[in-house]
Structure 1
Amino acid sequence: MAYNTLFSPIRIRELELKNRVMFPAMGTKMATEDKFVTQQVIDYHVARAEGGCGLNFSEVCSVSAKASPKKFLAISEDKYIPGLKKLTDAIHEAGGKAGVQLWLGGMAVGSDPEQTIMIPSPVPVPGTEYTIPGMDLDAIREAVEAFGESARRAVEAGFDAIEFHAGHNYTPHSFLSPFFNRRTDEYGGSLENRARFLLECIGAIRRNIPEGMPLFMRVDAHDDYLEGGLTIEEVIRFCSMAGAAGVDVLDVSRGNFSSSAIIYEVPPIDLPRGFNVENAARIRKETGMLTVAVGRINDPAQAEEILAGDKADMVVIGRAQLADPDFCNKAMAGDAASIIRCVGCNQGCYDGFVSTEVPYITCLRNPALGKEAEYKLVPAARAKRVLVAGGGIAGLEAAMVLKKRGHHPIVCEASQELGGQFALAGEAPRKEEMKEAALAMGRQAVREGIEVRLGTPVTPELIAGLQPDEVIIAVGAEPMQLRVPGGQLPHVTNSHEVLAGKTAVSGRVVIIGGGLVGLEVAEYVHGSASSVTVVEMQEQVAKDLGQLRSICVMESLHASGAAILTEAKCVEIREDAIVIESKGQLAEYPCDTVVVAIGARSRNFGEILSYCETNGIPCHAIGDAVRARRALNAVAEANEVARAI
């Protein structure tokens, strides 16, 4: 399929872009502690520019030295210009164009206690007597000037375009939204007053950049989860004002970090692909301005349909280019089938970003994210025959890296299909893309000429026959059994059997285990069960879910009417009930089916390991074969092992 509109040029003022794809500003934690550009940041952007992207925007770039958190890029002082110039030069040399997103973070800078929170109205801090003050008029004038000065620095640093961030509950959006802005002076009240600060910032930016330089603006289509917040009608009126003030392009997003609406900022797999496109289309139609569509656009055919359907002028393809920096080149070459698809898991790009234990963002589908230079594949010094035991995503990742390096991998999978537990996880509600990604990975492995043997468990006899140089064990994990009286009764099953469709459940269903799998089983059986009860030993369910997926799953469970029991332990299963112990008390819960979802343990591969050790064959265990954990970790481990062989 040709994507003629997606890869057609577009001119904005004097900037000519080779295609309609925009790589958006996304937090990476790749900057230095004191906010300078690193080589890591440069390599990250260059990979996407070389991959064919039309316009790269840097991550949120702080305009004020007073509100500039650690590990975020800054443009608040002249000392940052040389590093930013290195970034723009590298993007240009790679064939791309560079934009910078000017950012004043409001409450978000609270992640760094040394920084000043700039907001329109006072906000009490829960659990303390302290109230964060609203900005006075001097602070407002200072912030406006900071945007203007940062725009000047952006020009000196060689950026081709600027984006003013006026969404996501940051300072400008907080002024615009009546939910956050409770001022009674000229910066509060009517829409015209609430827009005043933003229009002054736009004016300051415009005065400090050349006439021919485009100004983008990221804006929320409307406020979500905020009672009395911005409506789309108000946003349309404001966008028209912004256009008159000098904004050229509207980058239409959604979400805020003060409520569950944060799911719209980094939308997980639970949200429909392209969920925000119609908002962008309406704003475009009613303002007449160039508009960028945003929100789970991860397929070139989907992007083409949006543009060819006259719904937007450009598209943001963000996390899809984290997963595959060659997204654009592959689509242009007619090889869309080989694109490594983002599945909206959020494990690396969001959960990694908010984690204090992870140094920078990662990606389940792309272990090279943030390591673009050092992870360039090096051909093997000697081609080896490598047996990969297991055809789940860890085994497939290892096999494909081995193949690209010149080795001869042989994948032996005990079942009749590739994809493993990642494909099984895709049976849960709203996770079809995970299943398709796992199956597509298997198809890609076959297309690349990897030898695959289905229905072939790895045994010492098989290893003896194949005589591999090395062995990778990726046999995964299996469900743990619940060892209580009655645990073997015929109406007791496990999560894998249910999700795989091997066991149908009905009537009163009790699920033992309130982690990710247990909750997804609860959603899965809703409709076929007359009632669903989830029993969890810990004080809360969903502890192993990332924040955004947890919001979506819990909202769905609440809507389904499922009952959730926490700090409750199943001590016995009877033919028509389970016995629960909670806070020292026993209680019976009638049920017809019990589904055990208490976790998984590594499959036994002792025979394989013993044979390899006895015969001097190097052997590497990866993924859930080591211990059950997130797919992100399994794929990263597979990639690392395959690069080292």
Structure 2
Amino acid sequence: MFERLFSPIRIRDMELENRVVMTGMGTRMVGGDGREVTDRLIRYHVERARGGVGLNTVEVCSVDAASAPKGFLALSDDKYIPGMKKLADAVHEAGGKICPQLWQGSLAVGSDPDAEILVASKMRLSRKVSIKGMSKERIHSIVKAYGEAARRAAQAGMDAVEFHAAHTYLPHVFLSGGINHRTDEYGGSFENRCRFPLECIRAIRQNIPEGMPLFMRIVCHDDYLENGLTEGEVIEFCKLAGREGVDVLNISRGNFLTRAQIYEIPPIDLPKGINVGPASRIRKETGMLTMPSGRINTPGFAEEILEEDKADLIAMSRAQLADPYFCKKAKEGKLAQINYCVGCDQGCYDYFINPEKDHISCMRNPAVGEEEELKVQAAEKPKRVMIAGGGIAGLEIADILHQRGHKPAIYEKTGTLGGQFVLAGTAPRKDDFGMAGRMAAQKAMESGIDIFLNTEVTAEVIEKEKPDVVVVAVGSVPFVPPIAGIDQANVMSSKEVLSGTKVPMSGNVVVIGGGLVGLEVSEHLERRGCHVTVVEMREGIGIDLGHMRKTAVQIQLEQGHIHQIVNAACKEIREKSVVLEVKGETMEVPADYVVIATGSRAKDSTDLQECCERLGIPVYVIGDAKRARKALDTIYEAYLAALEI
């Protein structure tokens, strides 16, 4: 199955077992002086190597000591070689191959106030703060640093190295005419802007063995950046880079000076395979081995790209977070057993930029970064576990319990499994949530887990079955705010709208609530021809969204015609309007229909808990049944409970 995807490929002296590459992703799994390899990072990479990925790419490694920020790995000194060697040896022992990204982060190192920020030309950050462009002497020292870091990578036993020339890091800053405004031989003309990154490539190539492959991560073009790189310029630069010894082009996209940052870690809102088209053109015109990245999350899609001769390798990175055994399962045809990335960005990016989090995580895989601590192990004594609710929390706990040798049974009140995940899949651009929910249900069925549909767990059911453990995962119900007129026939809940259980709406629709669900419902209705106004009590819409998703949703809203009213409280719903209070003033907005999207509250399960207490049966309340919140938290909680039982 997937013969092209799982066919070997040879690059210089390195042979990969398949075409799947896990590209570099920041993990924050560093230690020592804040830049060193940790056992946690090693276990994280080893698990992916065991799972069959063709090549592990280690996240960005600083090449220069003065500009090496804490929180990121470094290869800027010989003292980092032992840790890198330990990592390489462990991955090799697990049957994998490994490659570090050589990096100078330019503005990105500003996360550490002690790290020197380097830019090509003078850059104003605010009215009072600006950064001088690099001197030629400093340019030369960075070029030398790339070469020295490459030497260290080779000494550590790495199989390849990657030159990171994308995402507004220093090589990209020099290469892009939208950022580089120098007037000497390192700026101005395209030829001059290519000079610094080409010198870096030359230094790297001179310091690694002839048979060691050199990858290069490069943007396919610059988005939202005036005078930025065009695809034509990227193609010409890649040709020059190939002559200097680059073997593989890792095609990415995005910069963090503009909204184009969403393309670096593309959320579910963006199309799958956003870089496949540009990568195919670059591959054709350069004749070089090419690897597109960006929302390629299923083996079928990856196989299609290769079959259509658009690429040589496939970057499937977050897919390896969601399921470290993605490759083995796909190769064996166990597609329903895979936990698929849904592009939520909650654990991989939102955790990465959250200083309160120790390391990244993943909605679909709570064990990311905790491969040892959260290892699924056989239960000492198998137990019969009754699970009330077949939503994503119930499916998750059932899966882990089954893996541990317990006998879980899912009781679902409705006729379908998947709950809110499947419902979320009906919202614009969220098909992957629906797919994930359906696949989780199929996984449970294929695993032989007992499933009882159209069966509600009651105290009587518990008394009759007398399970060893009860898990309450009955989810949440919409929160209904105390608004006058809310019980009118023209008022519906967001769930009723997305599930299609009510008559189609038309005309003027007011959506009360500008959080994630409110915005999804608004866009859903706007696409169907309604004139939508979204009303939010807080100072802005989408406040509960993560950074990337919020930006993507704002872009979509700007392209539509959805009216937004913030700092507004709904006081009354009338037959053809709603009455709002906005900053102390009364406003009346036309409304043929009103949708309530003010969040959810846990569904009351007191009777089930009291029954279990009376019978002496341990009970776990998990997910939205405990407290309505993000799916990442819900699944993590279910996973922990499954390990505890």
TM-based fold match above 0.5? yes
Aligned residue for 2:611?
Answer: 611
Aligned residue for 1:93?
Answer: 93
Do 2:512 and 2:534's aligned partners in 1 also have CA atoms closer than 8 Å?
Answer: yes
Aligned residue for 1:125?
Answer: 125
* Counterparts of 2:140 and 2:285, CA distance in 1: 31
Do 1:125 and 1:131's aligned partners in 2 also have CA atoms closer than 8 Å?
Answer: yes
In the alignment, does 2:126 pair up with 1:140? no
* SS of residue paired to 1:3: coil
Do 2:201 and 2:244's aligned partners in 1 also have CA atoms closer than 8 Å?
Answer: yes
* Counterparts of 1:346 and 1:392, CA distance in 2: 21
Deviations 1:344-390 (A, max 9, x none): 11110111111122111100111111111222211111111111111
* Counterparts of 2:18 and 2:421, CA distance in 1: 34
* Counterparts of 2:611 and 2:8, CA distance in 1: 59
% identity of equivalent residues: 54
In the alignment, does 2:315 pair up with 1:311? no
1:263-302 paired onto structure 2 within 5 Å: 263-302=262-301
* SS of residue paired to 1:60: strand
Aligned residue for 1:47?
Answer: 47
1:508-587 paired onto structure 2 within 5 Å: 508-587=508-587
* SS of residue paired to 2:352: helix
Do 1:509 and 1:529's aligned partners in 2 also have CA atoms closer than 8 Å?
Answer: no
Aligned residue for 1:637?
Answer: 637
What one-letter code is carried by the residue in structure 1 that aligns with 2:50? E
In the alignment, does 2:37 pair up with 1:57? no
Deviation of residue 530 (structure 1)? 3.4
In the alignment, does 2:208 pair up with 1:217? no
What one-letter code is carried by the residue in structure 2 that aligns with 1:122? K
Deviation of residue 188 (structure 1)? 0.2
* SS of residue paired to 1:66: coil
Aligned residue for 1:507?
Answer: 507
* Counterparts of 1:454 and 1:85, CA distance in 2: 53
Aligned residue for 1:165?
Answer: 164
* Counterparts of 2:557 and 2:478, CA distance in 1: 23
Q: Give me the TM-score of the superposition, normalised by structure 1.
A: 0.99
* Counterparts of 1:401 and 1:34, CA distance in 2: 34
Aligned residue for 2:228?
Answer: 229
Deviation of residue 405 (structure 1)? 0.7
* Counterparts of 1:287 and 1:472, CA distance in 2: 57
Do 2:144 and 2:203's aligned partners in 1 also have CA atoms closer than 8 Å?
Answer: yes
* SS of residue paired to 2:530: strand
Do 2:254 and 2:262's aligned partners in 1 also have CA atoms closer than 8 Å?
Answer: yes
Deviation of residue 18 (structure 1)? 1.4
Deviation of residue 56 (structure 1)? 0.8
Task: Choose 459-468 or 521-530, whichever is displaced more.
Answer: 521-530
Aligned residue for 2:449?
Answer: 450
Deviation of residue 17 (structure 1)? 1.3
Deviation of residue 529 (structure 1)? 4.1
In the alignment, does 2:398 pair up with 1:399? yes
1:165-204 paired onto structure 2 within 5 Å: 165-204=164-203
* Counterparts of 2:51 and 2:432, CA distance in 1: 23
What one-letter code is carried by the residue in structure 2 that aligns with 1:273? K
* Counterparts of 2:317 and 2:611, CA distance in 1: 46
* Counterparts of 2:45 and 2:530, CA distance in 1: 52
Aligned residue for 2:350?
Answer: 351
* Counterparts of 1:542 and 1:497, CA distance in 2: 21
Extract unaligned runs of 5+ from structure 2: none
Deviation of residue 168 (structure 1)? 0.7
Aligned residue for 1:460?
Answer: 459
Aligned residue for 1:493?
Answer: 492
Deviation of residue 416 (structure 1)? 1.0
Q: Give me the TM-score of the superposition, normalised by structure 2.
A: 0.99
Aligned residue for 1:71?
Answer: 71
What one-letter code is carried by the residue in structure 2 that aligns with 1:23? M
* SS of residue paired to 1:282: helix
In the alignment, does 2:107 pair up with 1:107? yes
* Counterparts of 1:130 and 1:89, CA distance in 2: 45
1:326-475 paired onto structure 2 within 5 Å: 326-475=325-474
Deviation of residue 300 (structure 1)? 1.1
Do 2:336 and 2:440's aligned partners in 1 also have CA atoms closer than 8 Å?
Answer: no
* Counterparts of 1:20 and 1:481, CA distance in 2: 51
Deviations 1:150-197 (A, max 9, x none): 001001110010000000110100000011100000000111100100
Do 1:507 and 1:528's aligned partners in 2 also have CA atoms closer than 8 Å?
Answer: no
What one-letter code is carried by the residue in structure 2 that aligns with 1:602? A
Deviations 1:511-556 (A, max 9, x none): 0000000000001101334310000000001001111111121111
How many residue pairs get matched? 643
Do 1:609 and 1:619's aligned partners in 2 also have CA atoms closer than 8 Å?
Answer: yes
What one-letter code is carried by the residue in structure 2 that aligns with 1:164? F
Extract unaligned runs of 5+ from structure 1: none
* Counterparts of 1:527 and 1:380, CA distance in 2: 50
What one-letter code is carried by the residue in structure 2 that aligns with 1:92? H
